[in-house]
Amino acid sequence: MSSLQNCVLVVLTVIGSLLFMTGLNHVWSWEKRRDHNDVIGWQLSILGTTYAVILGFMLFTVWTSFGAADLNVDLEANAVVNIYRLSAGLPEPQRTQLQELALSYAEGAVTLDWPQMARNQVPDHSVEINASMWKTLMSVKTASPAELTAEDHALSELSALTEHRRTRLLQSASRLPNILWYVLLVGGTLTIVSSCTFGSASVALHGLQVFAFSLLISLALVAIADINRPFQGFVHVSDFAFQRALENMQAH
């Protein structure tokens, strides 16, 4: 989701919570609810603590996955640069072919892969170039120890590049299971509803409490939803690593 959609969702959640509290005050007055504050407060404390633990764990999990995706992109971009540099030790025509493929790989990642992943599509451009890299490198006929060493290291970097590319595609398609979203949404709803049932003589103070609960919960859920998709939404893994890789290769 975009930043505007995130803001709208948070605002609607907060407004809905306050409207529910107002409607509840008309149906079940705070004077009658105040007699049950001991029970409601105890339940709200247990429910809020349990939900806070679940929310914190989910946020930590998606942030860890996001960091892993960011690191994987850096390693993939580094592998492309290493292949480009190692190709200088190969004989022609594989030297020129591999350098052109490395440049095309980085350019395609920036101009094609990232926009496709942002639209929740599986990119195919890098897959084709990766296959061409393997064909080019396997066709090398080494004639000197230096060329053999360059080919061996290039094969190692190409294997790493292939692994990181596959990992990126898997991370782009990975999501939190629906059952976990049910837990988050139901838990958030129950927590907000419980805060609304508290009986308070001060409507303004009670409204502030509900406002704080609903705002914090909605912000946390929006953050989880965005970070849960490493290559889509307002918060996403940048293609900066490939841009830098492209600049480094073009500079040599």
The tokens 């404390």 sit on which residue?
A: 45
**So what's the pLDDT on residue 25?**
82
**So what's the pLDDT on residue 220?**
92
Question: Which residue in 187, 190, 192 sits closest to 16, CA to CA?
Answer: 192
What's at 250, amino acid-wise? Q
Lookup: tokens for 92 = 């022609």
Instruction: Outline where 123-177 has alpha helix (H).
Output: 125-138, 145-173
Check residue 109 and report its DSSP letter. Answer: I
Domain boundaries, the chain: 3-250
**So what's the pLDDT on residue 113?**
92
- Transcribe 20-63 into DSSP letters: HHHHHHHHS-HHHHHTTHHHHHHHHHHHHHHHHHHHHHHHHHHH
The tokens 């790493």 sit on which residue?
A: 160
- Transcribe 216-251 into DSSP letters: HHHHHHHHHHHHTSTTSSSS---SHHHHHHHHHHHT
pLDDT in tens, the chain (252 residues): 667 888 898 999 999 999 988 888 888 776 777 777 777 777 778 888 899 999 999 999 999 999 999 999 999 999 999 999 999 888 888 899 999 999 999 999 999 999 999 888 888 888 889 999 999 998 888 778 888 888 899 999 999 999 999 999 999 888 888 899 999 999 999 988 888 887 777 788 888 988 998 999 999 999 998 898 899 888 889 999 999 999 999 886
Question: Which residue in 187, 177, 179 sits closest to 221, CA to CA?
Answer: 187
**So what's the pLDDT on residue 1?**
61
